[in-house]
Amino acid sequence: MPAWVESGCIQYSKRMPPELRVQTVEIALGPRGKSQSSGKATEIEGQSILKALVDKDFVVALDVLGKTMSTETLASNLANWQMNGRDVNLLIGGPDGLSPDCLARANMRWSLSDLTLPHPLVRIVLMEQLYRAWTINANHPYHRN
């Protein structure tokens, strides 16, 4: 990831309270090229992602065909996730999205936007929105209606 992404994620991580610890796990991209289809690469990536998950985890797949939500709805979901006590995994796909197996494993599909966003920007948007959702729940003045 570019330095600006790492820097941005670190800044939001520092703001997060202890009960909202965010950990990034990077999965290597599947090989792409003339001899390998993008579908096969996505399948290989999906297998690696699924191996990193635990059965009891709550999985949210970021998917353009997923449900959109407002920041306030995210705050409500975040509160529910925290009360549930399960680890929440937000899956960001590679250049060709998530594998069908990852989408099938997901408890929820979330679309950040109808726009196609670059992977580095998605990380920053997710971190900011998680922080913003937490501030709503904590009645912190960061979020303004």
Cβ proximity of 27 and 145 under 8 Å: no
Give the pTM.
0.89
Kindly list the domain boundaries of the chain, sorted by start residue: 3-25+37-137
Residue range 20-51, pLDDT digits in tens? 989 989 888 877 777 777 778 889 899 999 99
Q: Which residues contact 115 (CB under 8 A, 6 or more apart)?
A: none
CA-based nearest residue to 43, from 56, 117, 51: 51
Average pLDDT over residues 120-132: 94
CA-based nearest residue to 20, from 112, 100, 127, 111: 127
Q: For all residues of the chain together, what is the average pLDDT?
A: 91
- Judged against a pLDDT cut of 90, whether residue 5 lies above it is answered with yes
CATH superfamily of 3-25+37-137: SPOUT methyltransferase, trefoil knot domain (3.40.1280.10)
